[in-house]
Structure 1
Amino acid sequence: MSNERELAQEARAWPFEEARKLVERIGGKTPEKGYVLFETGYGPSGLPHIGTFGEVVRTTMVRQAFQRLSDVPTRLFCFSDDMDGLRKVPENVPNKEMLREHLNKPLTRIPDPFGTHESFGHHNNARLRAFLDSFGFEYEFQSSTDWYFAGKFDKALLDVLRHYDEIMEIMLPSLREERQQTYSPFLPICPKTGHVLQVPILERNVDAGTIVFEDESGRKVELPVTGGNCKLQWKPDWGMRWYALGVDYEMSGKDLIDSVKLAGRICDAMGGRKPDGFNYELFLDEKGQKISKSKGNGLSVDEWLTYAPPESLALFMYHKPRAAKKLFFDVIPKTVDEYLTFLEKFPDETPERQIENPIWHIHNGEAPGTTCPLSFGLLLNLASVANTEDRTVIWGFIERYFPGTTPENTPLLDRLVSYALVYYRDFVLPHKAYRAVNDVDRAAFTDLVSVLEALPADASAEDIQTQVYEVGKRHPFESLRHWFKALYEVLLGQEQGPRMGSFIALYGRENFLSLIKRALAGEDLSK
């Protein structure tokens, strides 16, 4: 452990940089509450999305790094703001008319449109927990409703009432003039309608712990700010939660930078200490536009996991969290192959290198005991040239090239075969467009046939690759890139493709020669 701690203290990977800030924050001592608290937040008016995954997996990586640097206990709260009033009916739910009848009520006071839980909030909270559990995250789920109604926020809410003027001074400059006239940190819940009200506060009684406001009928009502009778606007609520829980670390998206500053000032005004953390960049779609749940652009977690394993998504989240990254289907194969490359390197690296390897952070310091002898890209191209969605066909090629390799003894490879076939079906097959050979192609392809037929039976993939290069150099292609592009377009029906030596060795030299000869004969390779 001491050696690992020394390595962790010098590690340059960003989770360790973040973790060292936390060690400095606590001064080497256990906080009064007995642990260092990490938090992530979730708005349960909709279903979990890829940003939720990104925030939890990145926070978990920092937590794991901290645990290598310190013996101080840690906890991770995944906090659901399920006291929020439902402002509009989501598009992706059943029973929309029923939901419209309950607009403006707290999510946990609205019937579940799916009919499976006691409320809409409970339904979405269950989806969140199932979502997080499916990835094996270690966390403690926390419900805003539970904290408010059980009185666990009561002391902090009374402190908000005492610091009301200071909080208003912080919040008002951030609001439009019209909103300033009616704004209050407190959102009373109307005893008559159950609605979460955004109304001005007419009177405050700090000693009694109450506020006075007009309800929807114009009647003056006095309510305690405690016991679930009120909740806070989300930015004061965020700051209050940091104060009440003693949150030490929470990251958030770049679009919340101003909100983080406001919540931090509110926490400070109440005598608390805002958490450490950083603002990560947002994801972009293939056109470079910000991904939006309402627009539906970009990728969902479920979509990614249809085509690739969760470890690859964790790698995507690990890489450069402060840089904007495009998140669309084309990045999946590249990310899977990056994961396989890091995984292959890990066992042979020194401890100093291992702790910098993303595999360490994805698997909490221990690489899984399985590897994969083939790249995801090569599997995709194998499916493409074989024109198949049949696993047994792909495994036939694999078992011939790697005798003794089976789905049972290479489970990661077996998973990737399944993913590759689905990706091929949905994204490669619909866009395949074979072209006929031209005069330059014909001469080069004929030359390649002669060269491959003359190679010894035990020629390696590297030897084959060298000969493919040499053939391309002998013919008047604009560049070697154009030579390989010709191979891909004529033989695979696509503009990009695999490293030809490895592909020919896997597909089988006789099969590849047959493919070239069919192309030279003018046959339709799409059949």
Structure 2
Amino acid sequence: MNDWVSELADRVIAESERRAPGNPVVCASGLSPSGPIHLGNLREVMTPHLVADEIRRRGRECLHLLSWDDYDRLRKVPAGIDPAWEEHIGKPYTSVPAPPGSPHANWAEHFKAPLVEALAELGVEYRGISQTEQYTGGAYREQILLAMRERRAIDEVLAEYRTKEPEGEYFPYRPYCSDCGRDLTRVTAYDDESTELAYTCACGFGETVKLAEHDNGKLVWKVDWPMRWAYEGVVFEPSGVDHHSPGSAWVVGGRLVGPVFGGEQPIGPMYAFVGITGMAKMSSSRGGVPTPSDALEIMEAPVLRWLYARRKPAQSFKIAFDQEIHRLYDEWDALGRKTERLPAEQAAYERAVGTADGALPVTPRPVPYRTLASIVDVTTGDQEQQLRILRDMDVAALEEARPRLDRAQRWVETQVAADQRTHVLREPDAELLASLGEGEREALRLLGEGLDTHWSLDGLTTLVYGVPKLQAGLDPEAKPTPELKAAQRAFFALIYRLLVGRATGPRLPTLLLAVGADRVRKLIQA
């Protein structure tokens, strides 16, 4: 496994020095606040963040620009939003009212806000750029006039990828209607000398404006993107797989950026899909796509950073919202305990736990996530009970187990169905206890007798696995045979049935700690 971040940083620094020696290195991301900004979109930010952060770690000045494409048109209303918002289709996001009940000023701000908060928690340093402010403030006026002068050259490139000929002359600029505010407009005439532009709108309105003074419209996307590469001097900007097909904005932009705008296409690796395992009800009200905020509710920031840092951009990966999160945390904790890591492992770990600006907050006493989830489950959120159990694991205060404890609690609340929660029986199952054979009664007696001397997570693990070995006359260190494994499974199922009324449940040592020795004895006393 190579350290892809360092390799890209080497290339980006060398390319920046070739293009603009001595200037800050410029990395870029672009996001459209069209709806919930999900964990796949986060790769658009994390990839250049990790490269920019590596460049900063080397003592170089590096800017990470995050363009909010908030001047793009509203194309559709996401699931869960009042269909009446369809009347705003065609308006820029900053001119569309926020969804019902939102405290934010407009549609764009509503969907930007959760990501801004998540990026702060993730330690991502960037300079945000509102494309609404850029366009309406006149920042791109000269670039727009240039694109209009070069419209025929632009059209020749676009024509190579078209399957349908456009009606009339091609114009790379589309105004927003001064009457209805939408982009259902068509430019009917343009004069290069006077910069007078005439347009009509589907709403029936039409007017002539002077483009040299007009700030109520934007370049079409395939021209807008390369214009920004040149304007901002972008050296590195990744993009999704959808941007790399023939005729895409990336391909077309690469052909326009030099001849039209006098710039160069950035180094731009393609990044792959980010999948989700076991998404439950957490995001259903938000359109069905989990966001970085959703992920940060159930996992710590360094763990989420690690998922993006350890995989090359072209490698797809999945983020676990189901039971797989326990395995993920086991892997993370094992990496943290390693005294010797492979160079790429070490690099990914360091990038996960901190940035060039310093370390991210961590849990002082990182109890295994699966253990915390079990504790939260069986104590139904009772903090006194949680502390009683954690003290047996040498955790003196709940704060020592946070923020991981809070993340595990949120995972149980949002991802574990109500019928899968653990409910400890109040009274012994007299019928089940009466039906037990002599061997089962002996196993339960050995368990009850060993509780006090084995009252720790490791000790109880040894005890529950050891009882079937003892009954079989085996050494406590004996390697498991198929017969022994079957006996252990049967023993575990019996304990679960006596404690929680079903054959499975949280990890048995954690469950025993949570229930308490006296109550365990009461429920298993045959």
TM-score, structure 2 normalization: 0.77
- Work out which of the residue numbers 380, 389, 403 in structure 2 matches 1:388: 380
Q: For residues 34-433 of structure 1, what are the structure 2 equivalents within 5 Å?
A: 34-69=23-58, 71-93=59-81, 97=84, 99-112=85-98, 116=103, 119-126=106-113, 128-177=115-164, 184-197=171-184, 199=186, 201-216=187-202, 217=204, 221=208, 223-224=210-211, 227-258=214-245, 259=248, 260-270=250-260, 271-286=262-277, 296-320=287-311, 321-330=313-322, 331-345=324-338, 348=339, 355-364=346-355, 366=359, 368=361, 370-384=363-377, 386-402=378-394, 405-408=396-399, 410=400, 413-426=401-414, 427=416, 429-432=418-421
The offset of 1:376, in angstroms, is 0.8
The separation in 2 between residues aligned to 1:372 and 1:36, in whole angstroms, is 39
CA distance in 2, matches of 1:202, 1:431: 64
**Kept in 2: contact 1:18–1:277 (CA 8 A):** no
Q: In the alignment, which residue of structure 1 is the partner of 2:524? A: 517
- Give the superposition deviation at 1:391: 1.7
1:170–1:422 distance in 2 versus 1, CA, 3 Å? same
Q: Which residue of 2 aligns with 1:3?
A: none
Q: Distance in 1 between matches of 2:213 and 2:22?
A: 23
* Structure 1, unaligned runs of 5 or more: 1-10, 522-527
Distance 2:110 2:341 in 1: 47
The total of aligned residue pairs comes to: 492
Structure 1 residue aligned with 2:9 = 19
Structure 1: distance between partners of 2:257 and 2:522: 69
Give CA-to-partner distance per residue, 1:61-84, whole Å, 9 cap, x none: 221112234x43111111111222
Quote the Cα distance in structure 2 between the aligned partners of 1:126 and 1:417: 26
For the residue of structure 2 that corresponds to 1:326, the secondary structure is strand
- Three-state SS of the structure 1 residue aligned to 2:65 is strand
Partner AA of 1:169 in structure 2: E
Instruction: Sort the Cα spacing of 1:460 and 1:86 in 2 relative to 1 into closer, same or farther, 3 A.
Output: closer
Distance between the aligned counterparts of 2:360 and 2:209, measured in 1? 59
Give the % identical residues: 23
What code does the residue aligned with 1:299 have? P
- Higher deviation after alignment, 313-322 or 389-398: 313-322
Displacement of 1:406: 1.5
2:477 matched residue in structure 1: none
Give 1:390 deviation, angstroms.
0.8
* Residue 375 of structure 1: how far off its partner (Å): 0.1
- Per the normalisation by structure 1, the TM-score is 0.77
Counterpart selection for 1:450 from 418, 443, 446: 446
Q: Look up the SS of the partner of 1:46 in the other structure.
A: coil
- 2:284 and 2:413 mapped to 1: Cα distance? 26
**1:155 CA drift (Å):** 2.5
Which sections of structure 2, spanning at least 5 residues, go unmatched?
Answer: 424-428, 473-480
State the SS of the aligned residue for 2:174.
Answer: strand
